[in-house]
Amino acid sequence: MRWHKKENIVCFTKEEINSLIKEAKQKEIFIEMAKRGTSFDDLANNMALRDEISNAIVSKLSKDKDEVEIFIVATMLPDFYDNDCEICFSLKDTFNPEKTPIKDLATLKAAIKENSPIDFWILTKAGFSAFQLKRYRDNPTNEELLTFIENKLKHYGNNMGDINLLILLQPQNRSLTVDFEGLSEKIAKKGLGFKGSILIWFNEGNKFDVIVELYPTFRARKLPINP
């Protein structure tokens, strides 16, 4: 962990943030097992029980905005950047990581600055890149997704400065029919002019993580999901 005191931003390597997540998930497993009076032998021999506990943990995660953001940026975004990039978060003005070291996920969540247009940062050799994360929990048409993006941009007067807008698509049926290139062309005609990017991320058939840049240019990249 590294604290950039001037910016009041704390940064982690992918390995560090994943270690915090793993430890937190292990605690959740123990909690769910204790609720059911379950042993590890029970889990080893009962797939339905394993699924039940897994679903309970996922349900908790989905309701925790900060944890969702941390999980997404830790498991997905770094793979699209330099191997040595870092995942960073703005801290509350009252939080000092030298006095209260961030050694677990709960402490990190409590330390993250609230009500900020920036949800997280990625630090590369080129410097800090700011991101705002929004989730879309349905299977949109082109027009529905365009309207969603327009509404988010209007909140900032169609100018988010140098903040990147990252939209996580979570279609219910896991099948997307959006024409991303056509959508990018429509956005380009709006003459937005801000310095950030508009990005879409989604899971393709549990086989690939896909990021599509809609603005300022169109490009797409997919990476295989490790089994």
Series of mean pLDDT values for 10-residue runs along the chain (227 residues): 93 89 79 79 78 74 65 70 86 94 90 91 92 86 92 85 90 77 92 88 83 93 77
pLDDT at 7: 92
pLDDT at 145: 93
User: 3-state secondary structure string, the chain?
Assistant: CEEECCCCEEEECHHHHHHHHHHHHHHHHHHHHHHHCCCHHHHHHCHHHHHHHHHHHHHHHHCCHHHHHHHHHHHCHHHHCCCCCEEEEEECCCCCCCCCCCCCHHHHHHHECCCCCCCEEEEECCEEEEEEEEEECCCCCHHHHHHHHHHHHHCCCCCCCCEEEEEEECCCCCCCCCCHHHHHHHHHCCCCCCCCCEEEEEEECCCEEEEEEEECCCEEEEEECCC
pLDDT at 172: 67
Burial of 122: CB neighbours in 10 Å, binned 0-12, 13-18, 19+: buried
pLDDT at 14: 86
Instruction: Please count the residues of the chain.
Output: 227
- Contact call for residues 111 and 142 (beta carbons, < 8 A): no
Buried b (16+ CB within 10 A) or exposed e, 163-186: bbbbbbbebeeeebebebeebbee
User: Rounded to two decimals, what is the model's pTM?
Assistant: 0.81
